[in-house]
Amino acid sequence: MHDILTITKDAHICVVGLGYVGLPLARLLVESGYQVTGIDVDETKIRQLLSGGSYLSDLSNDDIHALFQSGRFSCDTSFKPVAQSSATIICVPTPLTEEGQPDLSYVTAAAASISLFLQKSQLVVLESSTFPGTTEDYVIPILEGRGLTAGRDFFVAYSPERINPGDSFDIRKIPKVVGGIDPESTRLAVELYEKVFERVVVVSSIRVAELTKLLENTQRFINISLMNELAMICDKWKINLWEAIDAASTKPYGFTPYFPGPGVGGHCIPVDPLYLQWIAEKYGYSLEFIKLARQINEAMPEYVMDRIMRLCSSNHPQLLLVGLTYKPDVNDLRESPAVDILKQLQADGHDVMYHDPFIKEIDIGGRILKSVDLTPEVLQQVDVVAILTNHSNVDYEMIMQHARAVLDTRNAFGMAHNRPNIESL
């Protein structure tokens, strides 16, 4: 029976979770010929999509319009379309709890909703970043809750998302890692993704696929923490770390550049290593590199604030923070160290403004702050400008010309750090 199962080019696919991963994936699936239903329990997102609006910086309103105009896309808050699908892909968030432990509530809730409509011979793929064992130990038991058996009645695979918000790199060219609970599950997942991605990389198990994503981001987490620690000592040595990184990058082998900053943010780098640490501790292991990297990165906002205050020439300075999002050219504030810096500076009683072309306003402890226009007059009135996120559509030349003092935590000015009014992290 299994040999005749196939996912055709015009098959119906459900994508659960229409955020930074799910909505771009849904678009790729549509462009590849699939019929796609996007499902999200957030009614605000669904209403905005149905009205032709985008809530992601990577997709324009025109992109959303084209998605619906294709005739192959619909969206809903209901999971009923799962019953008519060939495959359902789960792309929901996997954040941390307040205690810093994995929060699988979005994943388990999605699995429970899918189970109500799951049919025989369907494929379910989890893409949410998570620790090894999540799919088999948490998701499959929920999917089997109404009597169907994974590997016999329906099929399950894991494929880690590799969406990089704000990056113009063609997603189709990013190799797609796939691992299933059995050969048939793997085959169907490959059949699904090979129509979308230029290369599909098959691994031997779901757990290998789950570990792959955590491995990628834990490597980045640890190496960024090293650069952040070096930034602190380079300040004492009066050495520009960015220049040293540029020089080291000329080596044609054995060196991969990583960069310092005010901390790490986003949905992956500060979160995924803690998923790995948590599951390792369940098996009696302590991943000391991750612990130390977390300690260093969590100290960076305080260090950046200290550097800002050292540049102030008055006891009651006016401060301007440029960039609040966790990375350039996205409207994503998740785990952003810049937001932590803004909150703490305000809590300390400082007069703080911000400019971010992607964040028009932000709620800080019940107080709404609005992004100020970046003008010569604003720059001349503040004591210090801190570049916390290097958006590409910011006029750095104007900042360089009119700001009294600048702390550049992102190397936005390059070698202009030699100017007397600019300090590099």
User: Dihedral angle at the C-alpha atoms of 26, 29, 34, 40, nearest 10 degrees?
Assistant: -10
| Residues known to be catalytic | 268
SS (H, E, C) the chain: CHHHCCCCCCCEEEEECCCCCHHHHHHHHHHCCCEEEEECCCHHHHHHHHCCCCCCCCCCHHHHHHHHHCCCEEEECCCHHHHHCCEEEECCCCCECCCCCECCHHHHHHHHHHHCCCCCCCEEEECCCCCCCHHHHHHHHHHHHHCCCECCCEEEEECCCCCCCCCCCCHHHCCEEEEECCHHHHHHHHHHHCCCCCCEEECCCHHHHHHHHHHHHHHHHHHHHHHHHHHHHHHHHCCCHHHHHHHHCCCCCCCCCCCCCCCCCCCCCCCHHHHHHHHHHHCCCCCHHHHHHHHHHHHHHHHHHHHHHHCCCCCCCEEEEECCCCCCCCCCCCCCHHHHHHHHHHHCCCEEEEECCCCCEEEECCEEEECCCCCHHHHHHCCEEEECCCCCCCCHHHHHHHCCCEEECCCCCHHHHHCCCEEEC
